[in-house]
Structure 1
Amino acid sequence: MKHLLYIFCLASTWSLFAQQNDTKKADSIQLHQIRVELETIFKKDQTFRRIYQEAEKKLGRDSFEMEYFWEVVEAQDKVLEKRVCAIIDTHGWLGISQVGRLANTTLWAVLQHGSVASKEKYAPLLKASVLQKESRAIHYARLIDRMLINSNKAQLYGTQYEYDDKGKASFFPIETPELLNKRRKELGLNSMEEFAASLKIEWTQTSKQ
């Protein structure tokens, strides 16, 4: 439960808005330039991930070629993460009304594929943006869950799942699953039952955790 308390403390509303207000406000011209850049970054972030399944079928999941494929992706991820972090450090977590939905999504998408350290650092800013209805709650949930999974801890919102060798999907372990729907509701998400059904993944509170 220690890491659970840590996450909620990390997301303290007072500290979130303080951090957001310390950043430099961009004018309309800068925001347009940043928007265009972020939308380009999104394309770079997603391109390889959109074709990896086809590449696996052609080259083999455990092939040398696929190993190199993911080395290239990881190298690019680091470059994109560095740039996105620089933008956030300078201008804060740019909301949908400032740069549009896609550019706003880019901030989350790149950090989702980035380091645990970056997720920990910027999660409070994303939470503040969500509270202002300038970012999507599901992005915050996924960022927190990915951060916990990357740290070998149980997720909080049940957004992360994996496939076994037979192609069957199952959710990563969930912290206090009996409180899962309460946490999801507080964030404005639908129930876990509805979410699991939309993915066609079996889940109950008694599922293996």
Structure 2
Amino acid sequence: MEYQKFVATIIDLKNKDLEFREILIAAKKLGEGYNAEMEVLHNQNAAVLNEIIDKIGYPTIDKVGKEASEAAWLVIQHAISKPEFMKKCLKLLVKAVNENKASEINLAYLTDRIAVFEDKPQLYGTQFDWDENGLLSPNTFDDFESVNQRRKRIGLNSLEEQTENIRTRAQNENQFPPEDLEIRKFEIYEWKKRVGWII
């Protein structure tokens, strides 16, 4: 199959995502929950990518090149309102990583993201949210030492360094903690039910 014809489409999906994110950053709205327009865009991108995956399988580096493979991963990572799509892609990404055709770091991030949405401890500490002190902190993880060992094994920095980087980035992107953390938690719970993370 001619995979190259899908490359531009996949990269375009990523670009649309990041361009809209920049608009939200400029408007100081990135941290205000899950923006409705962004959710629509993420769902549209997921639908297009899902069609491509049904035709060519996971967009591995050997099929579409590094840039498009990374772009596909970002679209999957942001398709948070599509649990079945994300889980389907996780299985395909596990296989691709086992065949040395995709990034182990990307697999770590997707594994953690799905774990967080399923209220399970993350393995690599890649996912963060606001805590009761108004700071971005890692979502629940299994064991601090084990997390850092796993991170080191796949080439990630320590969880301490990642935490510092995430907090600095949020500050630079005009992200602020929610005014009411309990309301935010309730909204996340209701959203998880609505999209199917919680049955």
Length-normalised TM-score, structure 1 = 0.68
In the alignment, structure 1 residue 37 sits paired with structure 2 residue 9: yes
> SS of the counterpart of 1:86?
helix
Give the aligned length: 164
CA contact (8 A) 1:145 1:159 kept: yes
Matches within 5 A, 1:63-142: 70-114=35-79, 115-142=82-109
> SS of the counterpart of 1:200?
helix
Of 56, 63, 88, which residue of structure 1 is paired with 2:28? 56
**5+ residue gaps in structure 2?**
167-199
CA contact (8 A) 1:170 1:201 kept: no
2:119 match = 152
Larger deviation: 158-167 or 137-146?
158-167
Query: Rg: which structure is higher?
Result: 1
**TM-fit CA distance, 1:166:** 7.1
Q: Distance in 2 between matches of 1:86 and 1:106?
A: 15
Counterpart amino acid of 2:18? Q
**5+ residue gaps in structure 1?**
1-25, 203-209
Q: Distance in 2 between matches of 1:82 and 1:35?
A: 16
| Residue 40 to residue 190, structure 1, CA distance change in 2 (3 Å) | closer
Length-normalised TM-score, structure 2 = 0.71
Q: How many percent identity over aligned positions?
A: 27
Higher relative contact order structure (alpha carbons within 8 Å, sequence separation ≥ 6): 2
Aligned structure 1 segments of 4 or more residues deviating by more than 3 angstroms: 163-167, 181-186
> SS of the counterpart of 2:155?
coil
Q: Distance in 1 between matches of 2:134 and 2:25?
A: 13
Q: Distance in 2 between matches of 1:125 and 1:93?
A: 6
Q: Distance in 2 between matches of 1:176 and 1:118?
A: 28
| Residue 75 to residue 156, structure 1, CA distance change in 2 (3 Å) | same
Please tell me the root mean square deviation across aligned C-alpha atoms, in Å: 2.7
| Residue 94 to residue 61, structure 1, CA distance change in 2 (3 Å) | closer
1:11 match = none
| Residue 97 to residue 154, structure 1, CA distance change in 2 (3 Å) | same
CA contact (8 A) 2:105 2:156 kept: no
